[in-house]
A and B are shown apart, each in its own frame.
Chain A
Amino acid sequence: MTDRDAAGLIVVVTDADLVRQSLAGVPDAFDRLVDRHYGGCLQYAARLLGNREDAEEACQDAFLRAFRALDSYAESDRFSAWLYRILINRCRTYAVRRRGTMEDATDSDVLASLSPTRDAEVEQLGLREELARAIAQLDIDQREAFLLKHVQDLSYDEISVITGASVSALKMRVKRACDRLRDLLTDLS
């Protein structure tokens, strides 16, 4: 969050500052916002969609929409929450397009990024694909809530603001997602 100005001083630049600068026409201000949030957005999109190409497209769409709608951003909102709202809508669009082919998605890039949790090589490969398939089998609502809660590490309140769903509904979705994942991942037969 800190910058250095020409004299090497610490200047705190918030997301809201960058939005303001971008709206005022400061070059590269929006690029800096993208730098801050692209990684997180890509991770979320890639885990949700199981496909790097779609994830990159969804992220590009989301950032372009955010850029065009920037003057509708209210600073009482957290920029990341506002951005995520746009992103999850984009991801849903792509997820719907891909429905029916999700279970077959074996994007090697995305799979390769899943870290190994066991030492045995065979088990590593098996687990990665198993995990991607298991995530893909969750309902979009559950997948979304599960990733926002446990991978993006947002609070239920934050997720509620982003998705518009109630906290109790979100907790139910996350619980169901965990139960389903457990069932899918322990069924090794």
Chain B
Amino acid sequence: MTSHDSHGNDEALDAVVQDAVLALRTPVAPRPAARAALTSALRSAAVAPAPAPGRAEQRSRARWFTTPRAVRMSPLTMLAAASLLVVSASVITARVGRRAAGKSVAVQTGTRTPERPGQVVRFTLAAPAAHRVSLVGDFNGWDPAATRLENKDGTWTVVIPVTPGRHQYGFVIDGSQWIADPAAAQSADSDFGTRNSVMYVGG
């Protein structure tokens, strides 16, 4: 057995140390009781944050789902979040007036994390003659049954959360016709003869 260090050099381990490493690599099975104690301690920490480390007291399980959470933000973060909402509102207002063959509008909603807000994205396609429109992409397994758009007066829309990063996507019309997003700023070669639309989520 050899291992590679960061410069790609092999470090040959002799037989004795190899045996030891193999033995040490066997997993140590977690005890359910210890795992449950950790879960319980985390629940308690969520409800009543306590500074003291070490073994948490065994308390009754907190009402996790219904307990309201305090969102802590620095004033700077609050200002940034407020600015983001103002910018988003003006972006939406500006784009609503535009008529195009299709458009996708990113609706940004911020969470308390300043660097990477969670992203909810609206996809829109004007396709008055279509009976069924699906959104497909690398975020939903390219499955036309996954994300159906809703039709209102010939304009099809869906709003879904998308993880930050670079994504390829497109639309499928009536289960058989592939169409890239006409309003996407960028497209990419897909290896399959079609071009995919590309979007960047998360800034």
**A contact set with B: CB distance below 8 Å:** 7, 9-14, 16-17, 20-21, 23-25, 27-28, 30-31, 34, 38-39, 42-43, 46-47, 52, 55-57, 59-61, 63-65, 67-68, 71, 74-75, 110, 113-117, 127-128, 131, 134-135, 147, 149-151, 153, 155-157, 167, 171, 174, 178, 181-182, 185-186
Indicate if B174 sits at the interface (CB-CB under 8 A): no
Report the interface size class on chain B: 35 or more
- Asked if A34 meets B28 with Cβ closer than 8 Å, knowing A23-B111, A182-B14, the reply is no
Select from chain A the residue with minimum beta-carbon distance to B55: A57
* CB atoms of A17 and B13 under 8 A apart: no
- Asked if A56 meets B31 with Cβ closer than 8 Å, knowing A9-B146, A155-B5, the reply is yes
* CB atoms of B42 and A115 under 8 A apart: no
Indicate if B35 sits at the interface (CB-CB under 8 A): yes
When chains A and B are docked, how far (Å) is the Cα of A68 from the Cα of B56?
A: 14
Interface secondary structure of A, over-half rule = helix
Q: Which residues of B contact A31 (CB under 8 A)?
A: 39, 42
Scan residues 137-182 of chain B and give those whose CB is less than 8 A from a CB of chain A.
139-141, 143, 145-146, 163
Scan residues 21-47 of chain B and give those whose CB is less than 8 A from a CB of chain A.
21-31, 34-35, 37-39, 41-42, 45-46
When chains A and B are docked, how far (Å) is the Cα of A52 from the Cα of B30?
A: 9
* CB atoms of B42 and A63 under 8 A apart: yes
* CB atoms of B30 and A42 under 8 A apart: yes
